[in-house]
Amino acid sequence: MDYQTGFFYLFAAVLLFAAFRVITARNPVHAVLFLMLAFSQAAALWLLLKAEFLGITLVLVYLGAVMVLFLFVVMMLDINMDSVRQGFWKHFPLAAILSALVAAELIAVLWAGFPSVSASPDAAGVGVNAAGYSNTRELGLLLYSEYLYPIEVAAVILLVAMIAAIALTLRQRKDSKAINPGLQVHVRASDRLVVLPMAATQKQAPASDAAATEEGKA
């Protein structure tokens, strides 16, 4: 067994352990951390398959942005896990059926095997494993030539989802405490501070008594 096979089994074992701990961890913060570990091991497997672009994208996009955002959201929500676990057995039959269906599909695909794919040379006639070959370049050519319309449709769907999320967040609610910036800009000093004349609660001591008091203290 060479070193690449050894690293593959190591990364795969850690990935399976992290994925198992994601669904069994009692603390949601720990579950998010294990999910980040699973993504990092998946990125390492992509690197072993010489798909550097996909591996680096997985690290930068999911680990560097999405999962960190999820971690902050989970930490700020303060989820009550007792109320979440109450509906576990209620949804367990449906979850078991879906899990069995996904497992059957995976077993069918792995049992049938993958069709043999021959490495075709690029436009310059250079082989896939030749020096100077860039799978990132080939991926970019496929995405922005043959799969241009699906990429545009996916971008439009993501844009609509982002606009919908912003619209749902910024809607007027009774429990929201929002401040109108226009009112803050046009505020006047007289609206913030009002000086009221108030009578003195104690009479001011005469000047001679005050001087005597200061000499006694000295």
Residue 154, phi then psi, degrees to nearest 5 = -65, -40
Of the candidates 70, 61, 57, 64, the one whose C-alpha atom is nearest the C-alpha of residue 31 is 70
At 9 the pLDDT is: 92
At 209 the pLDDT is: 59
At 42 the pLDDT is: 92
Cα dist. 147→32, 73, 150, 155 in Å? 33, 34, 6, 12
Q: What angle do CA 175, 179, 181 make, to 5 degrees?
A: 155
Helix 28-48 to helix 67-77 angle (10° resolution) is 170
Three-state DSSP class for residue 218: coil
At 138 the pLDDT is: 81
At 213 the pLDDT is: 63
d(CA 29, CA 88): 19
Task: Encode pLDDT of 44-70 as tens digits.
Answer: 999 888 888 888 888 888 888 777 777
Q: What is the number of other CB atoms lying within 10 angstroms of the CB of residue 55?
A: 19
pLDDT in tens, the chain (218 residues): 788 888 999 999 999 999 999 888 887 778 888 988 999 999 999 988 888 888 888 888 888 877 777 777 777 766 666 666 677 778 888 888 998 999 898 888 878 765 555 555 444 444 445 667 777 788 888 888 888 898 899 899 989 988 887 787 766 666 667 677 777 777 777 777 777 887 777 776 666 655 656 666 65
Count of residues in the chain:
218
Residue 106, phi then psi, degrees to nearest 5 = -65, -45
Question: Against a cut of 0.75, is the pTM above it?
Answer: no
Say which residue the tokens 């439009």 belong to. 156
pLDDT above 90: percentage of residues in the chain: 16
3-class SS letters over 108-154: HHHHHCCCCCCCCCCCCCCCCCCCCCCHHHHHHHHHHHHCHHHHHHH
Residue 76: both structure tokens together: 């700020």
At 153 the pLDDT is: 93
CB 136 within 8 A of CB 53: yes
Of the candidates 170, 176, 140, 142, the one whose C-alpha atom is nearest the C-alpha of residue 53 is 140
At 97 the pLDDT is: 93
CA 148 remoteness from chain centre = 27
1-78: CATH topology is Four Helix Bundle (Hemerythrin (Met), subunit A) (1.20.120)
At 205 the pLDDT is: 64
CB-based contacts of 122, cutoff 8 Å, min separation 6: 128, 133, 138
Of the candidates 117, 124, 118, the one whose C-alpha atom is nearest the C-alpha of residue 141 is 124
At 140 the pLDDT is: 83
At 141 the pLDDT is: 86
